[in-house]
Chains A and B, each alone.
Chain A
Amino acid sequence: MSAPMLEAVGVSKLFGQVRALNEVDLTLGPGVTGLLGPNGSGKSTLLKLFSGQLLPDAGQVRLLGRDPFRDAPARRAMGLCPEQDKFYEELDGYRFIEVLTRLHGFSAAESRDRAAHALARVGMATDGKKRLAAMSRGMRQRTKIAQAIAHDPPVVLLDEPLNGADPVARADLVKLVRQLGDEGRCVVVSSHVLHEVEAMTHQVVFIRFGRLRAHGDVFRLRGLLTDRPYRIRVKTPDARGLATRLLALEHVRSVTVQDEGSLELTTTALEPTARATARLAEDLGLAVSAFSSPDADLEALYRYLMEAAG
């Protein structure tokens, strides 16, 4: 059986008296995983442990079954986009990536090719010729991602990769991250921007106060929060008529008619209720002009998990 791509077993990390991570157990495989949590929750510490920059005080961290801190060759499998916006400023993007790629054992010519390919992939084929000091924040961010993927690593760790990127660049980077995941890499993305993480993946890890609060698919996790029923808003011409029929459904807890044209119901099961609502509307010959659930997304899940964690 092959080793997990990334694994933390009972990992704790202390900074003085502060426990940055507390007995974290986590296994990650191919695909994109969003690493979420408020500032100071331990996200960056976890990424630094996975990238071999820090040593755990307790437990073990494994990168494809090997110790990324002590086993230098193991870091061949990993590409890291660090959080800080710092570079060897006097270099241009191509030279910066070429030098770093050579440290992976590639020849100068191959490193140059890889640098060019990686920069093209992040949309920096032309701007990569600029000196890093002269690049905009978004260009620097993209260059930082390019240096993380130039050596074609199976594990990519991206710490706040969308910081400073303009909306167009953000959309491109979201697409790139998804592609990296689709290629079978294990991509871990730490971010505060929930809707962008949601656009990249439905696999998430929530950390708060150094503890792993939840890990898995957003919708499955949301379904586990049974004390937080889903709200569903429906716009239909005869809201009152539909509301009467909805109350009889198994999972529906309450229905509120907001005006003649819309209603809001709460249910413990989103999908069965959604299907039943559509069926009822069809039976009644009602057109449904809008159907939405404001708390079935990542943002709602994040809010609920953070509230639950205190």
Chain B
Amino acid sequence: MIPGLPAGHDARAAWIWFGFHLGRHLRRRTFWLWLVGIVGFLVLARGLAHTPARIVAQGLIIQLGPLLALFFCTGVIRQEIEDQTLTYGFSRPVGRGWLYMARVLATAAPVALLVLPGALYLGLEAGPQTAMAYGTATILAIAAYGGFFALIGQVFRWPAWFGLAFLLFWDVALGLVPGFLGKMTLSTHVRTVADLQIRLSDGPWMRFFEPPSRVASTITLLVFAAITLWLGGLLVRRREHRITR
């Protein structure tokens, strides 16, 4: 007979796995190098070049955050297959979808830790309300992009290239288009939550541009993050992961 497991075991095990992998990420040199780089960027942009906080915040929250999520999250499962360590987690009595979610969040959390302090600092220059908006937007952006990039990391052979193309040609470029197409991008919703919308001009065509409400964008990003995480978990649960020598 198979010994029983305590109630809520999957969630508890996922929490343990999250903590374990978060610790591993935070001990890596890459994390600290990125931290130094971001602090350097802020000192350079604000302290030396006196670039407006709003512009620096855009660079940090809209550009750098998603880019870091791309580099960190696309390899969530792939890295463990390459390292041949996937077996240790996946041979345990825990739903593999739960382990996947824990792993994605443990990978996205360091990205948030890299971006969030800078975003809050820049927001506080304008006031606590802006800091709150920047902070919320950062967390939602990293959850949404992280979930999406982790998902494509499982689907595509070259996920980093696909992710880069998505960021540059879909998300950034299309995000500049007013109207319905713009709302199809994550960047539009992140901008709305952070109150960092772009107004390209005040020309007559801008009347077609109706920005989504902050509540709608918050819900959109949350739902998008949840769906991509769930889909990724579903794929992991159903798929074989072959570790070859």
Residues of A at the B interface (CB closer than 8 Å) are 2, 15, 51-55, 64, 66, 72-78, 80, 82-84, 86-88, 90, 99-100, 102-105, 147, 154
Contact = CB atoms under 8 A, between A and B. Distances in A.
A1 to B, nearest CB: 13
Contact of A103 (B16, B27, B83, B242): B16
Contacts of B10: 72
Contact of A53 (B6, B93, B241): B241
B13 A84 contact: no
A86 B2 contact: no
A129 B68 CA distance: 35
B1 A76 contact: no
Interface stretch (B84-92, B122-130, B148-156, B217-225): B84-92
A83 B84 CA distance: 10
Interface of B: 1-6, 9-10, 12-13, 16-17, 20, 24, 27, 83-85, 87-96, 240-243, 245
B10 to A, nearest CB: 8
Nearest to A86: B84
A76 B90 contact: no
A216 B13 CA distance: 39
A80 B91 contact: yes
Contacts of A52: 90-91
Nearest 10 interchain pairs by C-beta: A86-B84, A76-B93, A103-B92, A75-B93, A77-B2, A84-B84, A80-B91, A82-B87, A105-B5, A103-B13
B38 to A, nearest CB: 24
A56 to B, nearest CB: 10
B190 to A, nearest CB: 34
Nearest to A13: B240
Contacts of B95: 72
A106 B92 CA distance: 12
